[in-house]
């Protein structure tokens, strides 16, 4: 690949953090995938928000309503998830002895995981939050139905107090060796053979690197961990060149390039506006491992 000019201020900050599985979740149904022979193509729009410092989540307010209810607050309906440990949180009230049950099923109705949870309230039958982590083993692409319910107390009683969300096991919930991220309007997606275009993009040398301001690698506490790389960068507010990111893994080294594909002379504005992009590394089996973003090593 030809050498490109080094952009001043490529990397301003690097950090590694170990967060619960919930920090890795959040791939909503706006992210789509195309499975090619050797490369996973991820269609993900960039965000215009700058990276915010982590802040504690607000504790759900207690409610004094005597009504029996169950509500799942995490995960969200349509969210993508990884495997191994699944965190389910919510609110419930009026449960017998403050107990509820959380169950995970696949699209065929097979129960993949089930666990009890206790409503955090000082009153018997009171209202409050609940939380439970469950071991989960499912293939990428599996559709999951998560149900939290108040179990039957008497024989023959039907379960009527429940809440359900649907989600899917992310295609990135596995070791990844080759990943290409494109924007929803990328002309590559209009090609007759998208996979052939993607394979060509993985080895393209007509690339223009993008200014990187901040990089944070976030890994789950599971073993082996899943790792996401949160990149904050800057680009012209108007530029018709395709914006892409590609990741390749070789042994314990993960190399990420965030760039414009140089398709020829086009007018781009001279201003730089911040944006964010999350690049999943998938399941990282090597330890230790190295992450390189636009030629700079994440420490």
**Nearest CA among 31, 283, 18 for reference residue 168:** 31
Instruction: Specify the pLDDT at position 13.
Output: 31
Query: Which pLDDT tens digit goes with each residue over 110-146?
Result: 999 999 999 999 998 899 999 999 888 888 888 899 9
Instruction: Give me the domains of the chain, ranges plus CATH numbers.
Output: 14-54+172-298 (no CATH), 69-169 (2.60.40.2550)
Q: Which two tokens stand for residue 183?
A: 């924007």
Burial of 261 (0-12, 13-18, 19+ CB in 10 A): middle
CB 245 within 8 A of CB 210: no
Residue 259 pLDDT greater than 90, yes or no: yes
Residue 170 pLDDT greater than 70, yes or no: yes
Query: Which pLDDT tens digit goes with each residue over 23-80?
Result: 334 444 467 889 999 999 999 888 875 444 444 455 555 545 458 899 999 888 877 7
What are the φ and ψ backbone dihedral angles of 114, each rounded to 5 degrees?
Answer: -155, 135
- DSSP class of residue 175 equals B
Instruction: Specify the pLDDT at position 30.
Output: 62
Cα–Cα separations (whole angstroms), residue 37 to 6, 178, 196, 214, 251: 33, 10, 10, 32, 19
Name residue, tokens 């301001």: 213
Q: Which two tokens stand for residue 171?
A: 């295609």
Instruction: Specify the pLDDT at position 86.
Output: 85
Instruction: Specify the pLDDT at position 87.
Output: 87
Higher-confidence position of 82 and 99: 99
pLDDT band at 219 (very low <50, low <70, confident <90, very high): confident
Distance CA 246, CA 260 (A): 11
User: Residue 90 CB: number of other CB atoms within 10 A?
Assistant: 23
Contacts of 26 (CB under 8 A, 6+ apart): 79, 80
Instruction: Specify the pLDDT at position 83.
Output: 62
Q: State the DSSP H helix or E strand holding residue 123, giving kind and residue range, or none if neither.
A: none
Instruction: Specify the pLDDT at position 18.
Output: 37
What sections of the chain are H helices per DSSP? 194-202
């Amino acid at each position: 690949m030809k050498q490109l000019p080094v952009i001043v201020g490529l990397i301003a900050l690097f950090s590694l953090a170990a967060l619960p599985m919930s920090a890795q979740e959040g791939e909503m149904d706006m992210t789509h995938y195309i499975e090619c022979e050797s490369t996973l193509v991820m269609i993900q729009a960039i965000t215009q928000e700058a990276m915010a410092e982590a802040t504690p989540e607000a504790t759900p307010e207690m409610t004094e309503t005597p009504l029996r209810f169950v509500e799942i607050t995490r995960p969200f309906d349509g969210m993508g998830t990884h495997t191994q440990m699944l965190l389910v949180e919510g609110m419930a009230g009026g449960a017998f002895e403050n107990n509820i049950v959380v169950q995970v099923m696949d699209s065929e109705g097979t129960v993949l995981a089930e666990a009890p949870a206790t409503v955090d309230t000082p009153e018997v039958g009171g209202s409050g939050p609940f939380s439970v982590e469950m071991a989960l083993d499912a293939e990428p692409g599996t559709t999951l139905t998560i149900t939290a319910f108040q179990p039957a107390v008497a024989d023959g009683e039907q379960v009527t107090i429940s809440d359900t969300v649907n989600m899917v096991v992310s295609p990135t919930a596995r070791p990844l060796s080759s990943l290409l991220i494109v924007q929803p309007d990328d002309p590559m997606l209009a090609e007759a053979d998208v996979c052939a275009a993607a394979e060509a993009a993985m080895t393209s040398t007509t690339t223009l690197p993008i200014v990187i301001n901040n990089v944070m690698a976030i890994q789950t506490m599971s073993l082996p961990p899943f790792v996401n790389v949160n990149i904050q960068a800057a680009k012209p507010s108007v530029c018709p060149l395709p914006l892409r990111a590609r990741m390749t893994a070789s042994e314990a080294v993960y190399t990420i390039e965030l760039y414009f594909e140089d398709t020829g002379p086009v007018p781009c504005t001279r201003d730089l506006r911040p944006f964010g992009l999350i690049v999943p590394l998938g399941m990282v089996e090597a330890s230790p491992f190295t992450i390189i973003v636009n030629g700079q090593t994440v420490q």
